[in-house]
Structure 1
Amino acid sequence: MSEQNNMNKGKVRIDFPPKWVTAEKANGEPFTISNGKGESWPAVKCTLPTGTKVDGKDLSGFSFTTFQKPWNKADIEAGKGTGVFVNADRNVSLFKYDQNGQRHDESVEPQKLSDAVEAARAEYREQHQSHDRSQEQETGLDELCEQKTAEANERESGSQDRSAQNVQR
């Protein structure tokens, strides 16, 4: 465990509920992060839950990609939420496509983003106290997010170069 802690020094952890993280595009292809040298690595696409607000700005539905860690894929395949790490000293580049296919970009401080995602999850749990955490993945909000994510994935399929610009190293 200490090796993992050392590996993640200078990083901020962001925990995502199930269905708000994915390692595959809608067509089943894995998400990857590529560089200009033709090298690529497995990636995770994270979508911000409904109610995620940073400095009063609603960032619900915005996404970012980051390098996939071994536990991410296992968590996702098990239907659990997972935690991802982003650099603490570098803003997270978020993107979102609207109904017209127009791309919108935002940049957020990592710790503020982590706190906002946790606050959105806590607010959701508070509003749905009759549900336990395992039922969180079965809600209509998650289904709506999954649908919107699939639509966004379809719009950006084939544009891997653009999503690589949002890499969090």
Structure 2
Amino acid sequence: MANQGFTLLEMVVVLAIVAVLALFAMPAYDGMMQRLESQATKRHIQEAIRLAKIESIAQGKDVIICAMDDAQTCNKTGQKDFVVFVDRNMNNRFDDKDFLISRQPLSLKYGYIDMRSSLGRHHMKFMGDNGKPRGHYGHIKYCTENQNLAYQVVMNAHGVLSERRGNLEKIDC
């Protein structure tokens, strides 16, 4: 009857090879995860802005987009959620009287977002009468240590989006 299994020496050699492979794979994995977070965050921001514009026209009501902090208030440096809601009571804050359209958890590990809206507001608003961000334009930036993954999503006075990439000094990260 033949013995089946591995010897201790075979097991140690295999584990050493796996450890070396993992050592080389981790930086590539980390870079891939940074890239995925950057792309997903940009997609969420752009989709939230489009959704807010469409809903403001469809419902004929003011729709607000903002980043939420841990206290569930709109904050230009909020990192918890990205929300779109109909501001039914016109107080520019998300509360029980408002209708939530979309909530996207951010769960950022490699970077952070920062919203800059006109007049230092903590939100951007699309008006229900014409679907434009009259007086509520600005930009949302995603900042990370890797300047190739940092960007700014810029919204002009007509609600048209553009993007700036790269140089951390240029986009003020």
TM-score (norm 1): 0.23
Work out which of the two has the higher radius of gyration on C-alpha atoms and give 1 or 2.
2
Greater helix fraction, Structure 1 or Structure 2: 1
